[in-house]
Amino acid sequence: MESILKYPHLFEPIMLAGQLFRNRIFSSPQGYYNVGPECFPNLDCVAFYERKAKGGFASVCAGDCIVDEKTGTHYPFTYRIDDPNCLPGFAAYASAVSRQGAVASVELSHAGLHAEAVAKRGGIVYGPVDMEGMYGPVREMPESEIYRIIQCYGKAAELAKQAGCGMVTIHGGHGWLLAQFWNKKINTRKDKWGGESIENRMRFSLEVVDCIRRYVGPKFPIEYRMSGTESYEDGYDLDEGIEFAKALDGRVDLIHVSAGHHQVQSAMLVTHPTMFMEDGCNAKYAREIKKHVKTPVATVGAFTDPAQMEEVIASGWADVVELGRQTLADPDLPLKARLGKEDEIIKCMRCMTCFGNSGEKRHYYCSLNPETEHELENKNVQPPKVLKKVLVAGGGIAGMQAALTAKRQGHEVILCEKSDRLGGILLCEENVPFKKHLSEYLRTQALLCKRAGVDIRLNTEVTPEYALSLKPDVIIAALGAKQLEPSIPGIDG
């Protein structure tokens, strides 16, 4: 109870459209690209999201669910939610997330003029107007097609509800279709769907919201994900973002305020802040929008510290905090914060490794969490039949993780480090200000090893003689990486 009182606002339940959420920490939309050719959720996907729910998040959202595969797909192997055959996969997803006490949501998406996969297969790419896009020619979306896509959103939401999801999230930010219609420099249409009139540019989004409401009913929460500002020269600014949010006020149940644009590199780094940016750097946009609306507001972007999240909610900047990459680094953040174990949270250091691998390789990898995308196999790991004595030589990041993994499986573990501190070669980074989360990670891993009961022996070099004297069953040589030196003339001079 003491730990809950430490973060009373963060762990206060919130009710949205009759749906109860157990706390104010949501897992923001994340896609999962290791799916089959049908692009429906599979067992690996289900385990991926279930792990976040098990870690204590109030809501978990499956991202990039395409409402019209024919025209809306940006990247191959994103989910389809335009086909009733997707129901078994989404039902398994919703059931697994709900079983862990979280509310399952799906993000309803359409890439519009950024539908790269559509362009590559020779399909028609639609946007607000005729133009030359990143992937070839873009055709102005006819009014008949606009009405058809509106219905696609509604039918997709209905499928999500039928599958057992407790909420849907409309992706109206980051330069996707609905945001393209908001942008007056792109949307120069002369009809009721665009031009200088902000009401006209908002019309598509509002029609989508109203259509979804008709399909799901009043007692089903609708979240709208928007960019408070697109953060680049030709994008809309915060003043317009506020006007857009005011138009959504009362129509949706949660306004999710992100920032930036996925197809503009500088703005994409606003959407996904790097280690050079301060924690929670996008919360200021949610704060400004919340001043103008009565609908609950969510903030997202570079949150890792429960104390900061508590302050954001307590100060009235937002009602909900959403986490993205942090859920990969440590899916147990809510549970650890609730139990008063904040010092055990592995904080995302925003290295972008997850982005570098989720594209062509179709897998998420996390520099800090080796279990990422191994959730299904880890779920089925059986305790070892024979416990062993394990010697780990080297106390860097690999050695500490190996020691932790073996100890958690019940083995006797001795971790030897020849220097006087754990952390290895990466200790050289501890005085670099923008790498503070890397330094925190090293300290946290050392603490976890100690608390797990690993026998830590500093100032101890593992020689062959020393290793033999311990009589281990297994030796793990975590001796560190070798420096890569490019063959550049004069590099030694």
pLDDT, tens digit, 9 for 90 and up, residues 429-464 = 888 988 888 999 999 999 999 999 999 999 999 999
Residue 486: which residues within 8 A CB-CB, separation 6 or more?
A: none
Report, as an integer, the average pLDDT of 255-276. Answer: 88
pLDDT at 4: 52
Strands (E), 285-381: 297-300, 320-323
Report the pLDDT averaged over residues 320-347.
97
C-alpha of 225 from chain center: 13
Residues near 87 by beta carbon (within 8 Å), at least 6 away in sequence: 159, 162, 163
pLDDT over 70 percentage in the chain = 98
| pLDDT score of 149 | 99
Q: Give the chain's mean pLDDT.
A: 94
pLDDT (tens digit, 9 = 90+) per residue, 21-31? 999 999 999 99
The pTM (predicted TM-score) of the whole model is 0.93
pLDDT band at 360 (very low <50, low <70, confident <90, very high): low
Task: Locate the DSSP E strands across 218-319.
Answer: 222-227, 254-258, 297-300
Whether the per-residue pLDDT at 293 is higher than 70: the answer is yes
Burial 272-289 (b: 16+ CB within 10 A, else e): bbebebebbbbbbbbbbb
Is residue 91 pLDDT above 60, yes or no? yes
Distance in angstroms (rounded) separating the CA atoms of residues 212 and 145: 17
State the Cα–Cα distance between residues 271 and 274, nearest whole angstrom: 9
Q: Which residues contact 95 (CB under 8 A, 6 or more apart)?
A: 164
**Statement: residue 488 has pLDDT above 60:** yes
Residue 3 has pLDDT above 60, yes or no: no
Tokens of residue 236, six digits: 């809309």
Q: Which pLDDT score, from 0 to 100, does residue 94 have?
A: 99
Higher-pLDDT residue of 267 and 306 is 306
Q: Is the pLDDT of residue 356 over 80?
A: no
Strand partners, 416: 393, 457
The confidence score (pLDDT) of residue 206 equals 98
Q: What is the DSSP letter of 124?
A: P
Q: Phi-psi bin for 356: left (phi > 0), alpha (psi -120 to 50), beta?
A: alpha
Residue 8, pLDDT above cutoff 80: yes
Quick one: pLDDT at residue 428?
Answer: 87
67: which DSSP letter? S
Among the listed residues 382, 394, 386, 381, the one whose alpha carbon sits nearest the alpha carbon of residue 424: 394
- Distance between alpha carbon 20 and the CA centroid of its chain, in Å? 22
What is the rounded CA–CA span in Å between residue 109 and residue 245?
Answer: 19
Task: Tell me the average pLDDT across 53-58.
Answer: 98
Q: What is the pLDDT of residue 482?
A: 77
Q: Say how many CA atoms lie within 13 Å of 192 toward its Cβ.
A: 9
Give every CB contact of residue 389 below 8 A, 6+ residues apart in sequence: 411, 412, 414, 470, 471, 472, 473, 474
How far is the CA of 100 from the CAs of 8, 93, 221, 297, in angstroms?
22, 11, 19, 25
Pick the residue with more confidence: 15 or 37? Answer: 15
pLDDT band at 357 (very low <50, low <70, confident <90, very high): low
The answer for residues whose C-beta is within 8 angstroms of residue 16's C-beta and 6 or more apart is 167, 221, 253, 254, 296
Q: Is the pLDDT of residue 89 over 80?
A: yes
Res 70: pLDDT: 96
Higher pLDDT, 16 or 432: 16
pLDDT exceeds cutoff 50 at 1: no
For the chain, list the domains and their CATH numbers.
2-377 (3.20.20.70), 382-477 (3.40.50.720)
Burial class (CB in 10 A: 0-12, 13-18, 19+), 259: buried
Q: List pLDDT tens digits, range 214-252.
A: 999 999 999 999 999 998 888 899 999 999 999 999 999
143-202 residue pLDDT tens: 999 999 999 999 999 999 999 999 999 999 999 999 999 999 999 999 999 999 999 999
Task: Report the pLDDT value the prediction gives residue 272, as an integer from 0 to 100.
Answer: 85
Q: What is the pLDDT of residue 485?
A: 80
Sorting pLDDT into bands at 50, 70 and 90, what band is 493?
low
pLDDT exceeds 50 at position 48:
yes
